[in-house]
Structure 1
Amino acid sequence: MPQQKDKYPSTFSVDDFNSTTVLTKNAIQKEKESKGDEYNPYEHRHLEHPNTFAGALIHLLKTSLGTGILAVPSAFKSVGFGFGLIGTILIGALCTHTVTLLVSASQKMCRQTQVPQLSFAQTVESVFKHGPDAVKGWSTFARIFVEIGLILTYLLSDTVYSVFVATSLSEIVNANFSEAKQYGIDYYLLGQMILLLLLCQIRPLKFLVPFSTIANCSMFVAFAITFFYMFRDAEEVSVSTREAFNFEIMGIAHFVSTIVFAMEGIGAIMPLENSMVEEGFLGCPGVLYIAMSTIITLYASIGFVGYYAYGPGTKPSIISNLTADDWASQVARGCIALSIFFTFMLQFYVPMEITWRNLKPHIPKKTRNITQILIRIVGVIFAIGVAILIPDLTTLISLVGAVFFSTLGLFVPAAVDIIIRWDSDLGAHNWILIKNILICIFSVIALVCGSYFAIDEMINPPHPSL
């Protein structure tokens, strides 16, 4: 007798998520391999819409070239253009390396356990489960830790997005209606919340695709206008008026947190690699190295030019430096607000899918629909509520980057690599172990310092947000 389907099924799994705008329908399924042959996970990936090399490259670029790039010039302001250029290259190389560690671990566990694909959380769980005896009992905890980290990462990223939207909208309205200046961005955040409470109830992925297309087109227009103004304004500046190096600890902490937040797309890496049916994600030339080389170059260039153009007046979102009453700048602000608003919905899909996947087996069928509605309402209220409490972009980005992206993007991959190599290959004189420990230490320092200074700014703001 056929089982009754849910009235509102959760159509896709979070493991299918490969960017803020593109999700691929994949299913994790175990395949048996004849004895004597090495298991190749790529040969057993039966995907409805597999990604080609070019497709995966484009998706990875889209994942990392998000709204965070608008905050990079502000990060350069904190440390100077010389420190910023060097630091961006080093952090970019570090992020590339830790992603390589995670993907390599996933591929190894796929071969060892003979499954075609593993998500981020499943990879970590599998590594612990098949690791040394001392960590085997922690496998479930490790998976839950990563899943909770991903949920909070995406929800708080949505918080950052909502502040971006509110700031852009308030600048447009204030430029056209002087009497509106008395209203803070709280009103714009509450307005967003009303719309998002309705729109975030959309569950089937296919209904989100049009919003994704609009978001991409709007972002392209906003970036094009912003970059035009940046390069134009930079022509009138002398390099002697800009600081090259600033070694203030608070500035460095803000810089590291912001660059990691902007560049790190760790949550999208495994689903994207899982969407490929041919090897080519790693290696040289591979999808990862080509994409990250492009991203590092672009971030370093935008950070340098943005800070060079506006100097000490560089704002948390570079788009806020555009002339307020110019029609083109208002178009850019409107496009960025529209794009990020729809990106909120797409990002929101991921934490809701993780949450529902874990709760669904424990919820009676007759109450599953209302439960999903309530969960989504709580998620939206949480994201907007944090934005109302912390409406400062600089502080928010520093906090999210320091706590979540440094943990999931740096610490976890390094720890996974230590475990997977423990009984086999730690390099001559244990150099691989030492290297991974240093990455973990850097992650902890970034977490502690970034969080401390972000929280300190929340409690004792040195000046009003620019």
Structure 2
Amino acid sequence: MTQETVKLEPLGANKDPNRTENGLGDEYDPHLHREIESPTTNSETLIHLLKGCLGTGILAMPEAFKLSGMVNGIVSTLLIGLLCTYCLHVLVKAQYLMCKRLKVALLTYPDSMKVACEMGPPFLRGFAPFAPGLTNFFLIFYQMGICCVYVVFVGKNLKYVGDVYTSQKLSLIVYMLIVFVPFVLIICIKNLKLLAPFSILANIITLITFGVVCYYIFQNLDNFSDRPAVGNLADYPLYFGTTLFSLQAVGVVIALENNMATPKSFREPFGVLNIGMGIVTVIYVGMGMMGYWRYGEIIESSITMNFPIKEVLAQVIIISYSIAIYISYGLQGFVPVQIMWSNYIAKRVEDVNEKKKAFYEYLLRIVCVILTFVLAMTVPLLGLFISLVGSFCLSALGIAFPAIIEICANWPNNSHPRTLLFWKDMLLIVVGVIGLSAGSYSAIYAIVQKLASGDY
């Protein structure tokens, strides 16, 4: 969608009071023009939002609190939760404004960046053709990063249990290779409806796992004051990246809002977004605080590896949650495959027959699995990998890009250097850039140090 194909109308421009859009009023409302085959209710959207936000990141939050300190972790996680929620509001609202001006029902995230650059300040317009590619790069890197995290998580947890039953302890790489074929098989499922029953199973396992985690962490608590209130300042970027990875769900939120039966209620004060992100933030604060309170400095990158491994309950729950994460790999891997296939590969194989086209798509899926496994085997550092993905991808996708889109969507009438909105968004861009650069540097530096020392 470009300015060459759609005439842009400035925000605030006078409208003809007698003009109507399909008889639905004197202004175009994108929400009324959406054609959704199976729209979701508010409650269904809320459930999907919670599912999208509660993943492996929640089990890494206690280690994040070790990096930040107890009090600092509680306050900072609440603030980051507010920041993530606000930036999601900014993005959804800006997309709505652009859809109104373009008179289209929906815009994808990459298209939103392109359109924003086209209608924004003049110096950004030359960047418009490259904006979708940059956005897709971050989206692919983010989703592939999640897949790598899942591979490391499953491998480490299987090794944690397997070491109990093997006299000769196998390496982590061996456990990863054992599950390689199952991971290939699940990502080769192209119809997500076939994964739906397994996703329900994964949700049930996740809820049970959280219950067992609570069972273990509420036992034998030390004095709360024994935990330092503030951690080392140099470790804060790592904490920031881990927390951002855990709380930010920009891709999920866009998809959910686009598929709602009543999208106007998504951004209401007591709408789906605020309620969902409020619940998620409280859960993450609680898990981080209680996990760090219980295990202190010996907390692992996933709290499941602090469980008494010789207990059958701990073994069962670790294996079960690994299965849930394995199922989620199929869903997370679907996104980068879809982006790469739809935007870059399908158009190059249009002339081949269907059998060859299917072969190329399956080949792409297998290559994606190989890449995630190679990277996971090269850098099997769960906590640091989570921090790197969070800092590098979500500082851009979840903070800086929404602010850029809002500036452009409101340009020039409501956003220019003499407005508060402009400088507020500039502050968000600065926060995103600092988070990306400082968090990525800290994570990469720590990864190099760990790999050099062999401490992993």
Inter-partner Cα distance in structure 2 for 1:99 and 1:372: 32
Q: Tell me by how many angstroms 1:57 deviates.
A: 1.2
From 422, 428, 434, the equivalent of 2:423 is: 434
1:144 aligns with 2:133: yes
The residue number in structure 1 matching 2:16 is: none
From 267, 270, 294, the equivalent of 2:254 is: 270
Inter-partner Cα distance in structure 1 for 2:158 and 2:196: 24
1:444 aligns with 2:433: yes
Superposition pairs for residues 19-418 of structure 1, below 5 Å?
33=22, 37-179=26-168, 181=169, 183-234=170-221, 237-249=222-234, 251-278=235-262, 279-358=264-343, 359-363=345-349, 364-366=351-353, 367-418=356-407
Q: Tell me by how many angstroms 1:271 deviates.
A: 1.1
- In structure 1, runs of 5+ residues without a counterpart are 1-30
Listed one character per residue, the Cα deviations across residues 326-367 of structure 1 (whole Å, up to 9, x for unaligned) are: 111111101111000111111011111111112212203323
Q: Tell me by how many angstroms 1:46 deviates.
A: 2.2
Inter-partner Cα distance in structure 2 for 1:432 and 1:92: 21
Q: Tell me by how many angstroms 1:157 deviates.
A: 0.5
Inter-partner Cα distance in structure 2 for 1:143 and 1:239: 48
Inter-partner Cα distance in structure 2 for 1:368 and 1:285: 47
Q: Tell me by how many angstroms 1:36 deviates.
A: 6.7
Q: Secondary structure at the match of 1:280?
A: helix
Inter-partner Cα distance in structure 1 for 2:113 and 2:418: 26
Maintained 8 Å contact 1:222/1:331: no
Q: Tell me by how many angstroms 1:421 deviates.
A: 2.4
Maintained 8 Å contact 2:186/2:327: no
Q: Tell me by how many angstroms 1:321 deviates.
A: 0.8
Q: Tell me by how many angstroms 1:199 deviates.
A: 2.6
Inter-partner Cα distance in structure 2 for 1:220 and 1:307: 20
- In structure 2, runs of 5+ residues without a counterpart are 1-19
Maintained 8 Å contact 1:314/1:321: yes
Inter-partner Cα distance in structure 1 for 2:67 and 2:387: 12
The residue number in structure 2 matching 1:20 is: none
TM-score normalised over the length of structure 2? 0.90
Inter-partner Cα distance in structure 2 for 1:376 and 1:287: 34
Inter-partner Cα distance in structure 1 for 2:193 and 2:30: 28
Number of aligned positions between the proteins: 431
Write the letter of the residue equivalent to 1:218: I
Change (3 A) 1:36 1:201: closer
Inter-partner Cα distance in structure 2 for 1:233 and 1:257: 30
- After TM superposition, what 4+ stretches of structure 1 lie above 6 angstroms from structure 2? none
Q: Secondary structure at the match of 1:232?
A: coil
Maintained 8 Å contact 1:68/1:261: yes
Inter-partner Cα distance in structure 2 for 1:428 and 1:320: 51
Maintained 8 Å contact 1:74/1:315: yes
Change (3 A) 1:222 1:152: same
Change (3 A) 1:121 1:233: farther
TM-score normalised over the length of structure 1? 0.88
Write the letter of the residue equivalent to 1:111: K
Q: Bigger CA drift: 269-278 or 73-82?
A: 269-278
Change (3 A) 1:173 1:280: same
Identity %: 32
Write the letter of the residue equivalent to 2:340: T
Change (3 A) 1:284 1:70: same
